[in-house]
Amino acid sequence: MREPSEQTGPSERSDREARHRDAVGSAADAAEAGEDGTRPADSALLRASRGLGVTAGATVLFLALRLLAVAEWNWETAGAIADTFDFTDLIPVAFGTLFARPDLTGALIALLLPLAVLGAVWPLSGRPFAASSLLLLTTLVAASASLVASFGLWWPLVAAALLTASLVTMRLVWRHGVGRRTVVVLTRSTSAVAVGGLLVLAAIVDTPWMSHERLDLADGALSGYVLEVEPGFVRVLTDERELVIVPVSEIRARTLDDAGA
């Protein structure tokens, strides 16, 4: 004998429709979220915060290495120099690091120029053209021209040309496998090379970021770098990397002495 069919009441149909809507909404949320469960907006914010954290950490490390190098790795002298440091000096410190040793800066240019050329002229597939690549390339070319005009340093351009030819050959020959992945990593490492190169320069360059001066005093002369000028006195880092305080009343004249740097 046939069982009587179950009747579906209005309340059951409403419950099923509600559960269906919830399931559709959950699927849409899962599709919108990434593999790690974050939405695109959250992922972008997370990447931006990580980038700011890395930038801040690299900046602090750069300044610490620069202070220690100028102090010839004497902890107390570095602390005394840090007392006179102001964050408005950050740009002079950065440019002073690059201009202090043309040979080391040329080596960094030789490493960065090939990566900048490929990034601007032949970017990796799937990556849109970035104006920053062209800006970096223009800056490096201008710096190379200045090194040639000022010091006759042609070797950074020669080395950059050889490295560029090597990278182009690698991209043409290695299209798959480990070789291809190696080329991709090298091509995308411009920022890492730039940051690493600046940190190396900060640790090596021991020339302060201000001009070398000769101070004619009432009882003789003093050569060094004026770190700070205050009412009534100046702080001077001598060539022997000693920090001295000189009263303004004892200073007869201050002259640039780049030859003695």
**Span(s) in the chain for CATH 2.30.30.100:** 212-260
Q: What's the pLDDT tens digit per position in 161-177?
A: 999 998 888 888 887 77
pLDDT band (50, 70, 90) for residue 125: low
CA angle 136, 138, 142 (to 5 degrees): 115
pLDDT at 57: 84
Pairing of strands 233-238, 243-247: antiparallel
Write the pLDDT tens digit of every residue in 149-159: 999 999 999 99
Third-level CATH fold of 212-260 = SH3 type barrels. (2.30.30)
The pTM for the full model equals 0.73
